[in-house]
Amino acid sequence: MSRLTIDQIYEHVQGVCFKTGPPGLVGAETEWFVIDRTAPSRPALLPRVQAVMEAAGPPPAGSRITYEPGGQLELSSPPRPGPAAACAAVARDIAHVTAHLAKEDLILDGRGADSRPSVFQATEGRYRCMREYFGEYGLRMMCGTASLQVCLDIGADAEDAARRWRLAHALGPVLVAAFANSPGPSARSRRQIVWERLDPGRTAAVGGDDPVEAWVRYALDAQVMLIRDGWVAAPGMTFQEWMATGRPDLGDLAYHLSTLFPPVRPQGWLELRMIDALPEPYWPVPIAVAAALLDDPVAADLATEAAAPARDRWRQAARDALTDPVLARAARRCFAAALDALPRLGAESLVPIVDAYAGRFVERGRCPADDPPTGAEPGRRGARAERPVDTAVRPAVPPKSDACRTVPGTRAESPATATEEETTWT
């Protein structure tokens, strides 16, 4: 084992976490609660869902299926050239999963938080340690929340990467507010509030004008969640303090970085983690909006100006969403810029659904959390269609450029299914 140095950390962060290249690839990770129609008041048991998905075979567009500790199903897409191709691929894989689950009276439910009693169903060492580290409050996050994560390129070079980093952070509260879909007491995004209260040293926004420096300092100052040798949870030291012992190596650093969960996380791409899960037909909207605002130069300039007053309004975004006038004004301007940019990105097919979402929510100062319960499932809330509208993103031909309890008997994922530690983008 070679002793890890500060220089090696900077080299890793700059060369891996902030690996630059021409932007344009888009990916998404969509998380879903799985509901059993025959017993909707409790989560579907993970072994049953896994068995259905294993029998179904791999999703046709290449998404990986993983599972969160409460049994949430996650689809992680490969990167695609632009938001239209990304959404079309995800739509194909959602359709595949939905069709096979339906055969067993199981359905996907897109919302940011689950009001039903949670069930801790994970058996992996990572999740057991995470449960011990975060404690009882953390179980709400692990078992009872779901997000939609948008993955975008770092940038063409260091200067572009710094610009995109700053813009992603400025847009964060706007995205929280515009897509809030987990209502609770004094909150429209209960999921975001749960995350920000967990452990600010690993879940708060990173920020900073120099992304490499900011991410290195954030990582060094964060508590070590676990040590994989023996799966030791909460050893009670920061990563910098662990380095002083001479024990961690480069693999330990990479794993430590995977246990940090800020709203914007660099992994060789920018992972936007602040968006609540959304149902059909609206899940493509945050993918389209985020990609347009970061990847189109004209929209990026407009978004930089529009989002600046809302940059630090994370708490207001989770609590008030678009009833906050600063966030509402920023969201309206950002959606207008995104709608204008999508045709330039070859994503005309996404304009109708983004426009429909803007008209229903953003222009009215509303978010999905403001909708009344659908009545479809006990305790279920979230967006529902006001009128029939043909705005679905249809699967397309792939582009040429291609308080919780443990359930006895639950098992780890099949080797055929991706693990939590695997990453989707390369």
Tell me what pLDDT residue 399 has.
33
Share the mean pLDDT of the chain: 89
In the predicted model, is pLDDT for residue 292 greater than 50?
yes
- Of 263 and 383, the one with more pLDDT: 263
Q: What is the pLDDT of residue 104?
A: 97
pLDDT band at 37 (very low <50, low <70, confident <90, very high): very high
* Higher per-residue pLDDT: 191 or 373: 191
At 258 the pLDDT is: 98
| Cα distance between residue 246 and residue 364, in whole Å | 56
pLDDT of residue 417: 35
- pLDDT of 398 reads 33
Mean pLDDT, range 37-52, rounded to an integer: 95
- Residue with the bigger pLDDT between 389 and 247: it is 247
Q: How confident is the model at residue 373 (pLDDT cuts 50, 70, 90)?
A: confident
Mean pLDDT for the stretch of residues 123-152: 95
Task: Report the distance separating Cα 37 and Cα 376, nearest Å.
Answer: 10
pLDDT at 403 over 70: no
Check residues 88 and 377 and name the one with the higher pLDDT.
88
For 261-283, write each residue's pLDDT tens digit. Answer: 999 999 999 999 999 999 999 99
* C-alpha separations of 259 from 43, 134, 206 in Å: 25, 12, 14
Q: Are 36 and 105 in contact (CB under 8 A)?
A: yes
Best CA proximity match to 385, nearest among 364, 370, 371, 369: 371
Compute the average pLDDT of residues 56-82: 98
pLDDT at residue 394 in the model: 43
Residue 251 pLDDT greater than 90, yes or no: yes
Region 73-95: mean pLDDT is: 98
Q: How high is the pLDDT of residue 390?
A: 40
* Confidence (pLDDT) at 33: 97
Whether 145 shows a pLDDT value over 90: the answer reads: yes
CA–CA dist 383, 375 (Å, integer): 12
User: What share of the chain in percent tops pLDDT 90?
Assistant: 83
Please list the alpha-helical segments (H only) found in 103-227: 125-144, 158-178, 190-198, 200-203, 211-221
Give the model's confidence band at 137: pLDDT under 50 very low, under 70 low, under 90 confident, else very high: confident
The per-residue pLDDT for 369 is 98
Over residues 139-164, mean pLDDT: 97
Segment 307-337, tens digit of pLDDT? 999 999 999 999 999 999 999 999 999 999 9
- Above 90 in pLDDT, residue 415? no
For the chain, the farthest-separated pair of C-alpha atoms sits apart, in whole angstroms, at 62
Two tokens, residue 17: 């976490």
Structure tokens that stand for 110 in this block: 């897109």
What is the rounded average pLDDT of the residues 277-302? 98
Predicted local confidence at residue 364, as pLDDT: 98
Decide: residue 299, CB within 10 A, 0-12 exposed, 13-18 middle, 19+ buried. Answer: buried
Check pLDDT > 80 for residue 379. Answer: no
pLDDT of residue 30: 98
pLDDT in tens, 103-113: 999 999 999 99
- Give the SS3 label for residue 414: coil
Closest CA to 188 of 381, 344, 352, 36: 381
Instruction: Reply yes or no on whether the pLDDT at 387 is more than 90.
Output: no
